[in-house]
Amino acid sequence: MTAVRVLVGTRKGAFILTADGERKNWTVSGPFFAGWEVYHVKGSPADPDRIYASQTSSWFGQIIQRSNDGGRTWETPGSSPEDLVDAATGMPKGESNKFVYDTSENGRPLTTHQWYDGTQHPWEFKRVWHLEPSPDDPDVCYAGVEDAALFRTTDGGRTWHELPALRGHESGPSWQPGAGGMCLHTILLDRSDPERIFVAISAAGAFRSEDGGKSWQPINRGLKSQYIPDPEAEVGHCVHRIAMHPSRPNVLFMQKHWDVMRSDDGGSTWYEVSGNLPTDFGFPIEVHAHEPDTIYVVPIKNDSEHFPPEGKLRVYRSRTGGNEWEPLTKGLPQKDCYVNVLRDAMAVDSLDPCGVYFGTTGGQVYVSPDGGDSWAPIVRDLPAVLSVEVQTIP
């Protein structure tokens, strides 16, 4: 029988939630990597047993973990035990895998970027925000990191090499950090064209490559951001998340720092579809697995009050690709709820009817097995949820 596996990254470890196709009775496993921040956990579309996890700590550093058995056991690819643990103290060293980044592109150093106040800041590898496994090869995976850069592994996570043309883009030195840092947090791979990649960076904007990452172009025309010196600049916009349906890679949806946007030409131009939302500020955006014009967002009050308007937790759904939105509230708290849903904390499964999932900073993970019509908590009282991803297991 078909099953689902929900992969949850939190402030204090990773959790795996499993159920059969009815999505009613759940088993909770974890925490894995307890006490560590796990920014993202994602499974390979090419192999349901392969899962990658980004384990990080401000004290011990960044480690990429890999499971080859659906999350039952984990290993750090390319690292021996002595690489990971200090022999004298017995504590983790934070040295794992091997991230190889470029220091120049066309002769120009890539070690600093300039903020709006004119100060120069060195590029620093801080953490991996997002992992995007290839749809075709379980050993190929992309990693978006802070400070913003894009890496790829072709050997299952043993070594990660930067795709330097992105950070080497002429606009790179002017990229600014958002409130959460200067992070590359979204990677979309076009399943119909393996050379086509979309990324989003806070706070630089969205970029597209048509040649497998050898070159990039900004795709931010139509975005307006009143908080930057030039509201219609080519780069500098704080994009929170972009999403697309695999069957329509030219149709993109965006949750921006204010505004929900849509593009029908692969990001070359954008137009607003916020419509009747109570507020157009939020972080996640997701597309229904079988209905390419059905999209989901979770509005929050504003950019300083990161909680639902009126204390009512509502997912909003549009069945028309934007503009017309309906609140989905059945089973969700409609009083005194002040949680947030972060950019990577919403996902859908591929079952029919489509299941929708999201996690909150209050530690709840919710499921709707009917496309959003009704909701139920899978688990409560986890650490703050950073990411939610779903695997459908045959």
Report the pLDDT averaged over residues 370-378: 98
If one counts every other C-beta atom within 10 angstroms of the C-beta of residue 314, the result is 22
Residue owning tokens 């060195």: 122
**pLDDT > 80? residue 115:** no
Q: How far apart, in whole angstroms, are the C-alpha atoms of residue 92 and residue 90?
A: 7
Q: Contact at 8 Å (CB) between 17 and 26?
A: yes
The lowest-confidence range among 12-21, 46-55, 227-236, 374-383 is 227-236
Q: Contact, 126 vs 146, CB < 8 A? A: yes
Contacts of 354 (CB under 8 A, 6+ apart): 288, 289, 290, 291, 348, 371
- 3-class state of residue 173 by DSSP: helix
How high is the mean pLDDT of the chain?
A: 91
* pLDDT attached to residue 91: 47
Give the residue among 300, 391, 381 at the shortest CA–CA distance from 347: 391
Confidence of residue 173 (pLDDT cuts 50, 70, 90): confident
361: tokens are 């900073």
Instruction: State the pLDDT confidence band at 195, using cuts at 50, 70 and 90.
Output: very high
Question: For residue 363, is pLDDT > 90?
Answer: yes
- So what's the pLDDT on residue 109? 42
Q: What's the average model confidence in pLDDT over 171-192?
A: 92
Using alpha carbons, select from 351, 373, 372 the residue that is nearest to residue 6: 351
Q: Across residues 55-67, what is the average pLDDT? A: 89
The CATH number given to 3-393 is 2.130.10.10
Whole-angstrom distance, CA of residue 165 vs CA of residue 138: 24
Taking 90 as the threshold, does the pLDDT of residue 358 lie above it? yes
How far is Cα of residue 113 from the mean position of the Cα atoms in its chain? 24
What pLDDT is attached to residue 124?
A: 82
Coil vs helix vs strand at 83:
helix
Q: 121-138: b or e for each residue (b if 16 or more CB lie within 10 Å)?
A: eebeebbbbbbbbbeebb
pLDDT at 112: 59
% of residues, the chain, pLDDT over 90? 78
Q: What is the average pLDDT across 243-250?
A: 97
Q: Is residue 81 predicted with pLDDT exceeding 60?
A: no
Q: Can you give the pTM of this predicted structure? A: 0.93
Q: Residues 207-232, buried b or exposed e (16+ Cβ, 10 A)?
A: bbbeeebeebebbbebbbbeebeeee
Confidence class of residue 113 from pLDDT cuts 50, 70 and 90? low
Mean pLDDT for 222-229 is: 91
Decide if pLDDT at 190 tops 90. yes
Two tokens, residue 91 = 């504590």
Q: With cut-offs at 50, 70 and 90, classify the pLDDT of residue 88.
A: low
* Amino acid at the residue 325: W
Given a cut of 90, whether residue 55 has pLDDT beyond it is yes
Q: 284: which strand partners?
A: none
Burial of 298 (0-12, 13-18, 19+ CB in 10 A): buried
Reported as type and span, the H/E element at residue 201 is: strand 197-202
- Give the span between the Cα atoms of 277 and 309, in whole angstroms: 11
CB 202 within 8 A of CB 240: yes
Residue of higher predicted confidence among 379 and 394 = 379
Q: By mean pLDDT, which of 1-5, 94-98, 173-177, 310-314 is the weakest?
A: 94-98
More confident residue, 114 or 187: 187
Give counts: helices (H), strands (E), the chain. 2, 32
Name the band, by pLDDT with cuts 50, 70 and 90, for residue 176: confident
Compute the distance between CA of residue 229 and CA of residue 176 in angstroms, rounded to an integer. Answer: 12
Q: Distance between terminal CA atoms of the chain?
A: 7
pLDDT score, position 96? 55
pLDDT in tens, 97-110: 677 766 554 444 45
Is pLDDT of 298 > 80? yes
* More confident site: 181 or 340: 340
pLDDT band at 250 (very low <50, low <70, confident <90, very high): very high
**60 pLDDT more than 90:** no
Separation CA 220–CA 388 (nearest Å): 27
d(CA 18, CA 3): 7
For the chain, what are the domain ranges? 3-393
pLDDT digits (tens, 9 = 90+) for 300-342: 999 999 999 999 999 999 999 999 999 999 999 999 999 999 9
Across the range 188-195, mean pLDDT stands at 96
Structure tokens at 274: 């916020």
